[in-house]
Amino acid sequence: MNKRKVIIDTDPGIDDALAIIAALKHPDLEVLGLTSVAGNKGIQFTTDNAARVLTYFDSGVKVYRGATNDYLSLKAGAGERADEAGFVHGATGLGSVDLPINSDMYADQNAIDFILETIQANPGEVDIIALGPVTNLALCVKKDLETMKQVRSIHSMGGGVHRGNRSPVAEFNYWFDPTAVDLVFTELGPHVPIWMIGLDVTHQGIIDMNDLTFMKMAGGELGAMLYEMMQFYVNTYWHQNGYMGAVIHDLMAMIGYIYPDMYSEIYHANLRCVSDSELAKGQCIVDLHDQFKWEKNAYVPMKADIAFYKEQTMAILFGEEAAEDYKKRVKSLG
């Protein structure tokens, strides 16, 4: 069986890290490279954190440094995004975990050229999993739309139809660079299947304290490391949402890419993203029911099989035996 060729566009971030790990461990995926983008943290943090995850797995995959700010800021000649304090993902972006970096993980080529050249070399074969702001993809579309039309699919974690997290109406990734979102979906979406994996579906998949404890107890060294990494994230969700656990948005996007049958209530719709209003910045306007007959440019799942999601997460991260053990223990809890 031929492996699926994947580029992961990412801004690690704790949830990005788990998604990357799942992709690196899945036997049917060939991860061609990681491309970093400013988002959860500034570009140096996100590039370094991608390199840390790659170093941990000694994978041979490299990280390609990408956009340092949002699309409009870059076009205006602004410098790098000012880094935030890290109240969601911790000071470095990976919670309290301090993973080493092998400098060999850094590629010399920039993210935009890597994406375009990789697609040109593999037309119709490359899927892009976008786990952060889609600034790199917007820059690629503007530089060479015809090459980007040869992408097999794009799976973007971001946005939401009925909810937000950065504001009442906006999810963080799409809020950070709404111009890039609108550009990618409007110019590329009619030609390439683009999936928006938004908060409506990701918030159905809370990884609770039983799940995290299983990771720690049954997942060996990797499970213990992920449990430690997740503690900062869990604390954030406790104070912000009242959850006893956390939503690992990007992990769900990755598992859903690998197993698309996990999703249901999938709409082929027109999606636009608000960029010209401070109050509604990053809000997704999605015509789910084709009321206005606008050109369709997005696939939007609204439901997911959460039991399947969790079982496959355990299987990919820790093996089939661990997944069977997990299912038995969940069943015993009723």
Our answer to whether residue 261 is catalytic in this structure is: no
| Nearest of 299, 300, 275 to residue 190 by alpha carbon | 299
> Three-state SS for 269?
strand
Given the residues 11, 127, 211, 250, select the one marked as catalytic. 11
Burial, 64: exposed, middle or buried (Cβ in 10 Å; 0-12, 13-18, 19+)? buried
Residue 88 CA, chain-centre distance (Å), reads: 15
Contact 11, 132 (CB under 8 A): yes
Our answer to whether residue 249 is catalytic in this structure is: yes
Q: How far apart are CA 155 and CA 23, in angstroms?
A: 13
Residues 6+ apart with CB under 8 A from 63: 33, 34, 35, 36, 47, 50, 51, 54, 105, 106, 107
Burial, 33: exposed, middle or buried (Cβ in 10 Å; 0-12, 13-18, 19+)? buried
Contact 323, 315 (CB under 8 A): yes
Beta-sheet strand order (sheet of 63-64): 63-64, 29-36, 4-10, 126-130, 153-157, 194-197, 298-304, 263-273, 284-287
| Nearest of 312, 195, 191 to residue 255 by alpha carbon | 312
Burial, 320: exposed, middle or buried (Cβ in 10 Å; 0-12, 13-18, 19+)? exposed
Angle at 188 between CA 180 and CA 126, to 5 degrees: 100
Cis ω before 86 (30° cut-off from 0):
no
Structure tokens at 175: 């809020």
Given the residues 26, 89, 155, 249, select the one marked as catalytic. 249
Catalogue the active-site residues. 11, 249
